[in-house]
Amino acid sequence: MSGNPGHWRRLERMYLTAAAINEYFRPQVEIGEGAAEIRIAVRPDFFHAAGAVHGAVYFKALDDAAFFAASSVVEDVFVRTTSFNIHLLRPVQEGALIARGALVSATRNLLIADAELRDDRGHLVGRGTGSFMRSRIRLEDIPGYSEE
């Protein structure tokens, strides 16, 4: 395991400053060893026609939390999602979505992480499991990661 808070802070900065999609979702992130938390405030522009948060937002929160739980222990290269399975359990119409990811298994080439998604009242609203692999993209070459 990594155990490197500097690495975790650089991942957080990369996520918040270099991932253009986050300009829309405006998430918050906190990364630790083998763990990550993503928080996204619910907004009406996230809703499907029936007036609740679309599953795409659930997926983003769950995948990001699992991704950063896996990435927390890989300090040299960018990790990429290779597969992700999601279960949508309950609709959300207000408040916030909080995804917590946890690293389950790590080998040299394959990382497995789970994530739970809860509303801000603590109700479980979704779950996901992902497989992640090391890429050839060096973290030091990614904007936001290497910049102080």
CATH of the domain at 9: 3.10.129.10
Q: Output the pLDDT for position 148.
A: 57
In a domain, 146, yes or no: no
Domain limits at 41?
5-141
In a domain, 126, yes or no: yes
The model carries a pTM of 0.95
Tens digits of residue pLDDT in 11-70: 999 999 999 999 999 999 999 999 999 999 999 999 999 999 999 999 999 999 999 999
Q: How many domains does the chain have?
A: 1
Sheet bearing 35-41, strands edge to edge: 28-32, 35-41, 96-106, 110-119, 124-138, 77-88
In a domain, 14, yes or no: yes
- Does position 1 have pLDDT exceeding 70, yes or no? no
In a domain, 147, yes or no: no
In a domain, 31, yes or no: yes
